Structure 1
Amino acid sequence: MGQLTHAQLRRLDEHKYSCTSSSLMDPMMQKWWCWLVDQCSRTLAPNLITITGLLINIVTSLLLVYYSPDAKQEVPRWACFLCALGLFTYQSLDAIDGKQARRTGTSSPLGELFDHGCDSLSTVFVSIGVCCSVRLGTHPYWMFFQCMMAVTLFYCAHWQTYVSGTLRFGFIDVTEAQFGVMAIHIISVIFGSSFWSLKGTSVLSPVVPLIFILAPAILIAWKSPDGLYLQNPTIYLLTFGCVSARITNRLVVAHMTKSEMAYSDASLLGPGSLFLNQYFNCPIPEQILLYIVCVYVIYDLIKYCREVCLEICNHLNIMLFTIVPKCPTGTKASVEKNGSSSKYMTRSKSKVKNN
């Protein structure tokens, strides 16, 4: 017995592709995609276009894996450039296969399945490739989270399609994410993959945590269907302000202790939860989640400041809010084990010598 039943194959004849998109970058890329498909021969099969793009993406991603199999070593800059170019090639070919099918009158359910099947495999290689580019293997649990999150989001997008019957692309979706990955590779080309180390002492390394704050703050406010920032400006600014204060305090500590600046921070979970809630069409009311996140980041900031202050007080043997009185240096007498002062003992010794 095959993978599909006769009933499934019969119902496949009734399937109609349905898709809606509010993507920010798709309209800007349409001119390039339309020009590119016009350069293709009408005898070129759409599925051949798809598989060609996937193979290029896989080869360029495996190139990074070759140089950094555990995602800990610094990869050559030219390899990062090829990986970015490979992803752009895959994105372009993946965008024109459907256009080629409609252009040649060869649209079929097989083409849709083949396209999404290749996308599911590409997601894995893109995730692994970007981990190698930023040396995320130095923090294996973050690497696991990033890869699993990528494949989970892809699955959930098609789960939503299964339920609603329509594949929906949001304002910030696949195209934008792919350009984001390309940008990461290009930054690795310019500055080297060590730039992305989760702990860095370079001049540019503190910029990365700032980006982790500003980018979600802008995107969440912009994309919010309920006008989250406009309806709650003070709570919104307080939330992201506390996250910024937490990161700034860590930067000050890194400066004063002459240590590395860590990029990861627990306070970033707050903005991350707001972003994911929007991605899944706000199953939790945005205003309620904003208040929860605000309480969390305030608590996290207070907890961090308290622990740092207490650790420094313990190390320096000082009090945080009180002053311990000190004896004046001129009147201090060193006391010996028998309770006599060194001054008294000196006088006693001089009397013995005179006698």
Structure 2
Amino acid sequence: MKLYKEKLLSELQLKRLGEHQYSCSSCSYLDKFLQPYWNWLVSKVPLWLAPNLITIVGLILNIVTALILVWYSPNAKDGAPRWACALCGIGLFAYQSLDAIDGKQARRTGTANPLGELFDHGCDSISTVFVALSACIAVQLGNHPGWMFFQCFCAITLFYCAHWQTYVSGTLRFGRVDVTEAQVTIMLILAISAIFGPDIWSTKVAGFSFRWCHVICCVFYLGYIQVFFAFVRNVAKGGCGKNGSTIAGTSVLSPIIPFSMILVPAFIIYQKSTEHVYENHPALYILAFGLVAAKVTNRLVVAHMTKSEMDYTDLSLIGPTMLFLNQYFSTFITEYYVLWLCLVWVTLDLLRYCYQICTEICDYLHVELFRIPHTGNTNTKRISSTSTSGNTEKNGTNIRNNKPPRSKKK
């Protein structure tokens, strides 16, 4: 008996995905100022470069530079080298820039399709984990593990909530203070740590630590509270489906079930650990649970694009279950080793899922993930005849190609 399905998407789901139209609204303060830069940047990109390749290169740069920071400060307490903070800031800037132009490149090359939207959101769900973690390491927030837990899981939760309300309303909405502002703020935090060193955040002025400035900034300026209440209002209005249901005709509260199966165990294991596995290894802990959340978020995006019900169970949840059962049996195995096993499992499961879902969509749409077909290739006729996110015009502009980068600190 296989642990996973041979086909993740049915023919009906693939058909609905092919008919999917991307819908997004944004009133971000910074987006309009960065648009000229993004337009200039995409004009320098060769036409043979595939949009999804641009996205994945940006994600790799972001992950690698963040992991360098993790390598030097896995407990988020030790001061990472200044150059590592600077490199992480550059990696985030590169990711933001490349994430902003992938849709523009799709429009330039006439290769926009639903796979591009899904691939973009999938990369953003992974990036969110590393961006949140790198911000905490840069200010040595591991000295306050409760705040670090709140910071990272708040970012992951709000990213999930953004796609939850999209599943409900059919439109992805960004506020005035949203992802772009969050990314720029974290770049500034990394720049300060690079210039003055991470210890600057421990300096006290009149008994007040600079590190708390970062916490307050994340909670209030970046609009955590504002974004959350906006999400509650949107969900409370009801969905675009029949009788106020979601786009798939399900309850507007249904997406809370799979995500609570991540958030609740993460908090319980953190609180009940006799070996203080989270306090001693916060980076490892957040990466493990964060990648599980990324997998579940990807499934929510797929459910939205295919107008289908979201499954409540997932193979990636085996990872947190191992930690939970180990605690239940009085830590029969050292929690540190189980945590590593959990991270390896969820990473492999996420990669397997992404590969399988992309392969199925590519086969259906007759496209290649990282390569633009030659002009006149007959295999592209399905795309040109299908109403997709990249071909949908709204108010005279292509709404996918002018999308803000999505990394819900989103």
CA contact (8 A) 2:76 2:142 kept: yes
Query: Is 1:174 the equivalent of 2:182?
Result: no
Give the C-alpha shift of residue 218 in structure 1.
7.8
Q: Which amino acid aligns with 1:5?
A: S
Give the C-alpha shift of residue 205 in structure 1.
5.0
Q: For residue 7 of structure 1, what is the aligned residue in structure 2?
A: 12
* Matches of 2:140 and 2:134, distance apart in 1: 10
CA distance 1:212–1:149, shift in 2 (3 Å)? closer
Q: For residue 109 of structure 1, what is the aligned residue in structure 2?
A: 114
Query: Is 1:186 the equivalent of 2:186?
Result: no
Give the C-alpha shift of residue 148 in structure 1.
0.8
Q: For residue 298 of structure 1, what is the aligned residue in structure 2?
A: none
CA contact (8 A) 2:147 2:215 kept: no
* Matches of 1:56 and 1:171, distance apart in 2: 27
* Matches of 2:230 and 2:116, distance apart in 1: 30
> Residues 147-194 of structure 1, C-alpha deviation per residue, up to 9 Å, x if partnerless?
111110000000111111111111001100000111111111222112
SS of the residue corresponding to residue 20 of structure 1 reads strand
Query: Is 1:121 the equivalent of 2:126?
Result: yes
CA distance 1:214–1:165, shift in 2 (3 Å)? closer
Q: Which amino acid aligns with 2:143?
A: T
SS of the residue corresponding to residue 25 of structure 2 reads strand
CA distance 1:104–1:59, shift in 2 (3 Å)? same
Q: Which amino acid aligns with 1:201?
A: K
Q: Which moved more, 1:203-212 or 1:134-143?
A: 203-212
> Residues 41-80 of structure 1, C-alpha deviation per residue, up to 9 Å, x if partnerless?
1110000000000000001000100100111100111111
Give the C-alpha shift of residue 280 in structure 1.
4.6
* Matches of 1:215 and 1:90, distance apart in 2: 20
Structure 1 residue ranges, 4+ long, deviating more than 2 angstroms after superposition: 200-220, 272-284
2:204 to 198, 201, 204: 201
Q: Which moved more, 1:128-137 or 1:93-102?
A: 128-137
Q: Which amino acid aligns with 1:79?
A: A
- Where does 1:64-75 land on structure 2 (aligned, <5 Å)? 64-75=69-80
The answer for unaligned runs of 5 or more in structure 1 is 221-271, 285-355
1:82 to 82, 87, 105: 87
CA distance 1:91–1:131, shift in 2 (3 Å)? same
CA contact (8 A) 1:195 1:205 kept: no
* Matches of 1:59 and 1:216, distance apart in 2: 27
Q: For residue 58 of structure 1, what is the aligned residue in structure 2?
A: 63
- Where does 1:151-166 land on structure 2 (aligned, <5 Å)? 151-166=156-171
Q: Which amino acid aligns with 2:35?
A: Q
SS of the residue corresponding to residue 171 of structure 1 reads coil
CA contact (8 A) 1:50 1:94 kept: yes
Give the C-alpha shift of residue 217 in structure 1.
7.5
Q: For residue 323 of structure 1, what is the aligned residue in structure 2?
A: none
* Matches of 1:158 and 1:99, distance apart in 2: 22
Q: For residue 23 of structure 1, what is the aligned residue in structure 2?
A: 28
Q: Which amino acid aligns with 1:16?
A: Q
> Residues 172-223 of structure 1, C-alpha deviation per residue, up to 9 Å, x if partnerless?
01100000111111111222112223xx435795566578779977888xxx
1:145 to 147, 150, 162: 150
Q: Which amino acid aligns with 1:105?
A: G
CA distance 1:273–1:184, shift in 2 (3 Å)? same
Q: For residue 252 of structure 2, what is the aligned residue in structure 1?
A: none
Q: For residue 277 of structure 1, what is the aligned residue in structure 2?
A: 229
Q: Which amino acid aligns with 2:193?
A: S
CA contact (8 A) 1:46 1:111 kept: yes
Compare relative contact order (CA 8 Å, sep 6+) and give the higher one, 1 or 2: 2
Give the C-alpha shift of residue 281 in structure 1.
4.5
Q: For residue 324 of structure 2, what is the aligned residue in structure 1?
A: none
Number of aligned residue pairs: give it.
Answer: 231
> Residues 258-295 of structure 1, C-alpha deviation per residue, up to 9 Å, x if partnerless?
xxxxxxxxxxxxxx7567435654889xxxxxxxxxxx
Q: Which amino acid aligns with 2:130?
A: F
The answer for unaligned runs of 5 or more in structure 2 is 1-5, 237-410
TM-score by length of 2: 0.52
CA contact (8 A) 1:216 1:275 kept: no
CA contact (8 A) 1:57 1:122 kept: yes
* Matches of 2:130 and 2:136, distance apart in 1: 10
Q: Which amino acid aligns with 2:229?
A: N
- Where does 1:283-294 land on structure 2 (aligned, <5 Å)? none
* Matches of 1:210 and 1:138, distance apart in 2: 15
1:99 to 101, 104, 107: 104
* Matches of 1:18 and 1:275, distance apart in 2: 19
CA distance 1:65–1:88, shift in 2 (3 Å)? same
CA distance 1:193–1:116, shift in 2 (3 Å)? same
Q: Which amino acid aligns with 1:277?
A: F
CA contact (8 A) 1:196 1:205 kept: no
| Percent identity for Structure 1 against Structure 2 | 58
* Matches of 2:232 and 2:104, distance apart in 1: 28
Q: Considering only CA atoms, is the larger Rg found in Structure 1 or Structure 2?
A: 1
